[in-house]
Structure 1
Amino acid sequence: MDHLMREAVRYLGYGKHAVDDQTLRLIADSFGSLRSVGSRKSVYRIFDLEQEDGETVRFGSLTVKSKSLGKNLRGCDKIVLFGATLGIGVDQLLSRTSKTDMAKTVVTQACAAALLEKYCDECQERIRQEMELEGRYLRPRFSPGYGDFPIECQRDLIRVLDCARSIGLTLTEGCMMAPSKSVTAVIGAGRTVIRCHRQGCESCEKIDCIYRRDTL
């Protein structure tokens, strides 16, 4: 089982339990369907970063108060605003599938989440290479809604990145992204090498979560 399939299994909540062959076939089939309809796009912009009092960060025309974001960006002098989407075709596939096969819909949702995460990792790797040419090193991605980073900041990120025009990503009144399989995030960059990035499951204290990645 490759990494992408393991991630889909994790999103399905299997934990350390064995996965039956039928589910594995559904996962493989879902990845094939998603790749045929997906239209991956991403956008990013880099800004100077100012910080004060450990919880106030400023970049571009924006000021954000968040202790968890301040901690993530500690030691950084640049910030990358990032957006990515798998495209509207994935939403259309999920809508069609939900009318005929709910089991496959659940599996396809998990596979889409895994594909989106993989795509974001690929994009961040390209940004990492660009920033290291300037002698800067990246921190983990940090999205609105993490910790006390307000979910409403999605609106600011999407506006500054002009996501509607650049990648077709918009936001509903309730801060839901459309297409749904999309991400916005910030990525700090600083002169100090961080050799061990704590992110996602690695930084979460909820060790009994069924979706937890094996971090041992």
Structure 2
Amino acid sequence: MPIYNAPLKNVDPKETRRYAGLANADFNEQAIVDACNEMTYIAEPRGSWEIYDYDNEQGIVLASPLFKIQGSKILKHLSHSKKVVLLAVTIGGNVENFIAKTFHNGNYSQGMLLDAAATTAVEQTADSLEKNIDAFTRPLGYKRIWRFSPGYGDWDINCQPQMLRLSNAAMIGIHHTDSMMLDPRKSVTAIIGLVPEMDPFSPQKPSCATCQQKNCHSRVKKK
């Protein structure tokens, strides 16, 4: 599939506040907005993706070579999928360099907010790419379920080499380190299950209400 050069017209301050661990804190709102605005200038959003047939009984992406999915939660998530999309998105290495320079200069609060804004930006880029994929999958008679990334649940990040290869991530400059972290750091890989339109299956999307990580700094408390 062609490279997706996603426009980033804005970065959501509310999500940035949450990623910064400030969801329920009294903090300078203008500082958050300023970090979001700055991120729209320095981020370089790009995405790549590919569709594959999927054997949901064996948990195998029918690529060459075959890609065996490991993990009970991801297998359950894809249990009704007939095809899958493997995607990768990044907002570029320039962002990381800018954030590191901000911290180096002693602007710790700004650096924290920029880092959170960058996380928001890469998630928004993935959201935007998903919507773009709909134009290709709906005519085939499929609906997409929410994306699932390595590291979530019991899906081990050791699958990153396969994820990067099958999503053509090298074309947009994403690689992995020896510890299976993505480089540039503000990048994401994910798999999206494609379920036949007539299938009522719709897995519950994760939220703070259902997440078991009670001490997560991004958790939104109930009012």
Matches within 5 A, 1:164-179: 164=170, 166-179=171-184
Matches within 5 A, 1:171-190: 171-190=176-195
Q: Deviations over 1:133-177 (max 9, x none)?
A: 22111111111111111101111111223312x101111111121
Partner of 2:18: 10
* Equivalent of residue 146 in structure 2, options 122, 136, 140: 140
Q: Give yes or no for contact 1:137–1:194 (8 Å, CA) kept in 2.
A: no
Whether 1:199 and 2:202 are equivalent positions in the alignment is no
Corresponding letter in the other structure for 2:50? R
* Equivalent of residue 132 in structure 2, options 126, 134, 141: 126
1:122 counterpart SS class: helix
Flag the 1:129–1:196 CA change in 2: closer, same or farther, 3 A. Answer: farther
Deviation at 1:28? 1.8
Give me the whole-angstrom Cα distance separating, in 2, the residues matched to 1:158 and 1:138. 20
**Percent identity, aligned pairs only?**
25
Corresponding letter in the other structure for 2:22? Y
Corresponding letter in the other structure for 2:158? E
Q: Give yes or no for contact 2:69–2:75 (8 Å, CA) kept in 1.
A: no
Instruction: Return the TM-score normalized by structure 1.
Output: 0.87
1:14 counterpart SS class: coil
Q: Give yes or no for contact 1:201–1:215 (8 Å, CA) kept in 2.
A: no
Corresponding letter in the other structure for 2:162? D
* Equivalent of residue 62 in structure 2, options 49, 59, 72: 59
Q: Which structure 2 residue ranges, 5 or more long, are not aligned?
A: 1-9
* Paired residue total: 209
Deviation at 1:215? 8.2
Whether 1:30 and 2:38 are equivalent positions in the alignment is no
Corresponding letter in the other structure for 1:110? A
Deviation at 1:209? 3.6
Whether 1:105 and 2:111 are equivalent positions in the alignment is yes
Q: Give yes or no for contact 2:57–2:79 (8 Å, CA) kept in 1.
A: no
Deviation at 1:37? 1.6
Q: Deviations over 1:24-54 (max 9, x none)?
A: 222222222222121110000000000226x
Whether 1:93 and 2:98 are equivalent positions in the alignment is yes
Partner of 2:168: 162
Q: Give yes or no for contact 1:139–1:197 (8 Å, CA) kept in 2.
A: no
Give me the whole-angstrom Cα distance separating, in 2, the residues matched to 1:140 and 1:203. 15
Partner of 1:153: 159
Q: Give yes or no for contact 1:57–1:70 (8 Å, CA) kept in 2.
A: no
Q: Which structure 1 residue ranges, 5 or more long, are not aligned?
A: none
Partner of 2:6: none
2:69 counterpart SS class: strand
Q: Deviations over 1:39-76 (max 9, x none)?
A: 110000000000226xx333312112221111111111
Coordinate RMSD, CA, aligned: 2.3
Partner of 2:45: 40
